Amino acid sequence: MTLIKSISGIRGTIGGTTNDNLTPIDAVKFAAAYGTWLKDYAGKEKLTVVIGRDARLSGEMIQNLVVSTLVGLGIDVVDLGLSTTPTVEIAVPLEKADGGIILTASHNPKQWNALKLLNERGEFLDAEQGAVILELAEKEDFNFSEVDDLGKIIKNDSYIDVHIDEVLELPLVDKEVIKKAGFKVVVDGVNSTGGIAIPKLLEELGVEVIKLYCDPTGHFPHNPEPLKEHLGDICKLVVEEQADFGIVVDPDVDRLAFISNDGEMFGEEYTLVACADYVLGKTKGNTVSNLSSSRALRDITEKHGGTYEAAAVGEVNVVTKMKANNAIIGGEGNGGIIYPESHYGRDSLVGTALFLMLMAERGGTVAELRASYPSYFMSKKKIQLTPDLDVDALLEAMHDKYKNEQVSTIDGVKIDFPENWVHLRKSNTEPIIRIYTEAKSQQAANDLADHIIDEIKEVAGLD
């Protein structure tokens, strides 16, 4: 398995050989590169970095390595312990820290881990900054501190509670309105830190919580990516318990999916649509999502009198476009909600509170809410990469093949047809090509994806 170095951080599988996997040596090297870059970027002698991790099995080992490396560089570390990605993002500015590192491989299976790197605003580094860190790691040009100048470790495990308080203080979140609605909700925390944070938030909001896989052991009970094929247990439990809906998060709690009261997927693409519907109904403004997200957000935004824009895939790209367009809500179609009133990061706690407000004020069932939105269906498929596959040449060939259609090359190749679209891109987080399609029926989306995959295989000479 190749160690993946990208805009989404540095990630790899645990074990194996250095430079091919996320071994202890690689973890130290990249932590040292980040700390070295941060010293130059911050331009001051004494630095503080916030660190938190999800519950995956390798988390404690990787955290010990990263923390010790930063201490060795003379950097103080605020150790949040078990945390969530959005919690660390919020903690960085509250601690007046110079940066942050989240130790999580997001939705990847248990053998993966990663270092996600933040700036002093608690936002992801841009591609240019990431490139400098990769270069420093390659050169291994590090200057560690002498014994009297080592950093210190400050442990603070209160930040999930602080994060929940921040959500409750948002102007568009009214605890009493949600409490009065008397919701009953099933939560699948995939045995990671969402199993701590989401039930705590719901209980603060007066919601009856039924926990499923909420023990943060790191033993994921199913594939942790919140897709329909992985979520049979919660879909069944929502119906059995006659719950109002279900909530599913990924291991680091920046992706949010809902299960409707009838046990069907609300659709992770529609998490952002619903939250945007609520926010735009209260505050006029614009929205942004990435090129792989549903057209439904555009439709809802225009219905509320706003303007929709698409960004390249990757949270930092969406945030940059949101700032440029003064978007009041945005995110990614994988269930990532970015609400600047809170912070510029995907946040399932914020998304959960906004969705509860929408349901409390609108009434009716979650299935009825879903039926009220423009109906689009997506297919999300992938092709495994092999070392000899020239992805750039392949994407260029597909671009040329469809050059008479509306084509975007901001991020891979997106081809917009009148009734549907296809987006082909190399993943930032896995050694695959992603093939996303959207159409007016599931069959049409699947057929378009299969057709494009056949064409890609033909161009690449694959079986």
Cβ-Cβ contacts under 8 Å for 392 (sequence gap 6 or more): none
375 is catalytic: no
pLDDT band for position 58 (cuts 50, 70, 90): very high
Scan for tokens 């194996």, then name that residue.
16
| Torsion (CA) 427, 336, 248, 93 in degrees, nearest 10 | 110
Question: Residue 314: its pLDDT value, please?
Answer: 87
pLDDT band for position 391 (cuts 50, 70, 90): confident
Question: Residue 353: its pLDDT value, please?
Answer: 98
Which structural domains are found in the chain, ordered by start?
Answer: 4-156 (3.40.120.10), 162-372 (3.40.120.10), 377-460 (3.30.310.50)
How far apart are alpha carbons 160 and 165 in whole angstroms?
9
3-state SS, residue 268: coil
Could you write out the three-class secondary structure of 200-231? HHHHHCCCEEEEECCCCCCCCCCCCCCCHHHC
What would the mean pLDDT of 154-161 be, rounded to a whole number? 98
What percent of the chain has pLDDT above 70?
Answer: 99
Q: Compute the residue count for the chain.
A: 463
Question: Residue 70: its pLDDT value, please?
Answer: 98
pLDDT in tens, 77-107: 999 999 999 999 999 999 999 999 999 999 9
Query: Of the ranges 5-9, 338-342, 452-456, which is most confident?
Result: 338-342
pLDDT band for position 181 (cuts 50, 70, 90): very high
**b/e string for 320-344 if b means 16 or more Cβ within 10 A?**
bbbeebebbbbbbbbbbbbbbebbb
Question: Residue 463: its pLDDT value, please?
Answer: 61
Q: Which of 106, 260, 289, 292 is catalytic?
A: 106
The answer to whether 54 touches 251, Cβ cutoff 8 Å, is yes
Model pTM above 0.75 = yes
Question: Residue 8: its pLDDT value, please?
Answer: 64
Higher confidence at residue 21 or residue 5? Answer: 21
The answer to whether 350 touches 307, Cβ cutoff 8 Å, is no
| Average pLDDT score over the chain | 95
Q: How far is CA 267 from CA 296, 308, 368, in A?
A: 12, 20, 13
**Dihedral sign, CA of 418, 419, 424, 429?**
positive
Phi and psi at residue 410, to the nearest 5°: -60, -35
pLDDT band for position 149 (cuts 50, 70, 90): very high
Question: Residue 92: its pLDDT value, please?
Answer: 98
pLDDT in tens, 287-334: 999 999 999 999 999 999 999 999 998 899 999 999 999 999 999 988
